[in-house]
Structure formats: C-alpha cells, structure tokens
Amino acid sequence: MKKQIVKEFITVKKVRRLPPKEPAAPPPIPRRILVVGRCALDMITVCDEHPIPGKLQRTEEGFWRLGGHAANTCCVLRRLGTDCEFLGQLSSISAFESLSSSFNALGVDISSCPRMPLEPPHQSIVIVRGQGTRTTVEYSNRKHELTYQQFMGAVDYRKYSWIHFEARNLRDTLRMMQAVRDYNSRNEEANILVSFGLVNLRAISLLLADMADYVLVQKQVLTTYAYMNGRETVWAVRDRMEVAHKRWLANQPKKTPNPNKDATPLDENNCTLPVQKRPIIIYENYEEGASCLLSDNTYFKVGGHQPQKIVDTIGEHDTFVGAFIYAMQQVKLSLRDAMEYATRATCHKISEIGFDCLRCMPKDLISCYYA
C-alpha cells in the first residue's frame, strides 16, 4: 500500500503593521526666576547711638543672618510664594554652612552655585535705634564674584522666564547679559526678561542698564548725585545712558574703513534707522512714591506710603525688586499696579525685622486695599 504523504501547509496570516504611536510630548519645563549676584553674611548690631571710636560700647540686641542684595531678593520672592534660583559663589568652609542651610530652609535652589574655599563676603552693620540710619563695613573682593565662565556653565535658559542681575563684576556681567540677549534673538519664544539693579552712574554700569528690559534704580543714586526727586533721577539716568551708548558706538571699529566712493548715497529724507529698544527705568522710594520712565519717554509716578514705624531698613531696595518681579510674573499685574504693590511691600517690610513679615503680605493689589 502506497504510503500517503501528507503535506502540511502552514498558512501565515498577514497582519497589517500599524504605524508606531508618536511619543507624547514632554511636559513643559516649569520656568522660574533667576537672581545672579552675591551672598553675604550680615552681622547686625542695634545701638542707641553711633559708636565712639576707641570706646567700648555694649548692646543687648544683635543677630546674624543671610545677606547680600541677590540673596535678599530671593528671600522676598520665596516669602511671597514664587519659585526662584540663586546663582553666585558660595563658601565650602564648614563654619559657614548656615548660609547654605538658610537657602535650603527658604526653598531657594542653589544647586548650580560654584563653591569656593574662601570665607564668604560679610558685612558689619551698626543700626541706630529709632533713627533709621546705619553704618556698614563690607568685606569682599573680586574672588567672591561670579565669572562669565561659571555663569555659562551653570545656566539652562529654558528654565527661566526672568533673570535679575546685581551690579557686581560689571565686565563679566556685561557678557552675561549679552549672552541672554543672544539667546532671546535665536529663540523668539523664549522671551526671557532681564532686569538690572543700578547703583551708580559709571559708564559701564550705564551700558549694562542699556541692555536690560527693566532698570531698577536705588536711592543711593539720588543721594550720591544730589538729585531733587525721582522724576529728575530717572531722566538723568536716561540722558546719561544715551551719552554712554553714543560714546561706546564711537569707540567701535568701523566695519568699512574704505567705503566705495561710487556707491549711491542714501536719501536722508527717506532713510529710517532701526529703532533701539530702550529699557524702562524705575526709581523706588516708598516715601514719595516710585517713579517710572517708559521707553517712549512717558513719565508717571505712583503714590507714596509712610509706615507707622521704621524698624529695619536693611533690604529695602531688595524688597521692592522682589515684590515688583513677583507682581509682574506671578500675579501678571500691569506696570503701574506692580510698582504700587512693590511700594506697599517695602513699607510692610521696614516696619518689621527681617523678611518673614512678607508671608502676611496680600498676594495681589486688590487685597492690599482691604488688608
């Protein structure tokens, strides 16, 4: 009997391969505020009268705390409820771990800060009780300042919506601000706002202010250069900024040292030069009110406020800066309302010691009227 050969046929069912699913878009990186500057140790002593040289004077009130303009601005932002990051040199000496602990207790990110094996800058501040005056002896040098290389190695621009620069190490700070402007020009969606704290009217400080979106002028400028009020101060800053910018342009090398003589001259009647975006200049003063000069030379002023008592004026300007940035970024207030809110926050701060009182500060301007 013939053997039956059974052939088994295996049928393979063709399955259509569906295209792979597109990976989900990564969640947007939460953007925060970056404050670039210096951290210092403030040793504060409260006396009834100014110390007499060569005489021993005792007092029962005094304390140490975290200080420095940039560090104080971070304290204000955290007390108001805004995420922020500090970038500056910190000391790696174990005796000054309290400065890093203060940042961690406040919730300020310091993971990108470089460490140095030196004592941090410190200030000896003597406050005269009831007069609102103080005497400050500051210790700092160029080794305590953040460099341009450290800034570029630590900053991820995608994480920030606002960068505030303190007037320290001006030549390197100029390169830092230029790097932020270059990033904004390459990425139109970034739109990182830049603010700068103006302390004096030196030429390089004015060039730095010309590169910022907001220039926050301290009271020291008015007292040093003997201006009468905030209006005169902001106009003087604008005029000197234009002079410094023209001098800088005049010193730049010419791009075409041998221009073509056969080229057709430009028509002066129809030629339009590119308009340079000028910064908004704000002078803070809680007594007479903050003054503001817009890019189109429009001037306005908000009303002043007088606190019931003056207890601690250390960090007065830093409170205005932090509250102004908070109102503009977090609450999305208008420029005038943000200046009003920052002025009220300054009055609230100087009536108490430290920045803890800002926790009770209303979180918007409308609530301030009913507080």
Q: Residue 87 domain-assigned?
A: yes
Q: Which residues of the chain fall below pLDDT 70?
A: 1-18, 130-132, 255-276, 370-371
Q: Residue 14 domain-assigned?
A: no
How many domains does the chain divide into?
A: 1
C-alpha torsion angle, residues 102, 327, 132, 360 (rounded to 10): -70
pLDDT digit string, tens, across residues 284-341: 988 888 999 999 999 999 988 888 888 888 889 999 999 999 999 998 999 999 999 9
* pLDDT at residue 263, as a whole number: 47
Residue 320: give the domain boundaries: 32-50+60-250+277-370
Q: Residue 18 domain-assigned?
A: no
Q: How far is CA 51 from CA 135, 136, 179, in A?
A: 10, 12, 46
Q: Residue 146 domain-assigned?
A: yes
Q: Residue 355 domain-assigned?
A: yes
* pLDDT at residue 77, as a whole number: 94
Q: Residue 169 domain-assigned?
A: yes
Q: Residue 268 domain-assigned?
A: no
* pLDDT at residue 118, as a whole number: 80
Residue 112 is part of a domain; what is its CATH number?
A: 3.40.1190.20
**Distance between CA atoms of residues 108 and 34, nearest Å:** 10
* pLDDT at residue 64, as a whole number: 86
pLDDT digit string, tens, across residues 227-249: 999 999 999 999 999 999 888 88
Contacts 24+ apart (CB under 8 A), 197-201: 197/69, 197/164, 197/165, 197/166, 197/167, 197/317, 197/321, 198/167, 198/237, 199/167, 200/167, 200/224, 201/225, 201/236, 201/237, 201/240
Q: Residue 27 domain-assigned?
A: no
* pLDDT at residue 268, as a whole number: 42
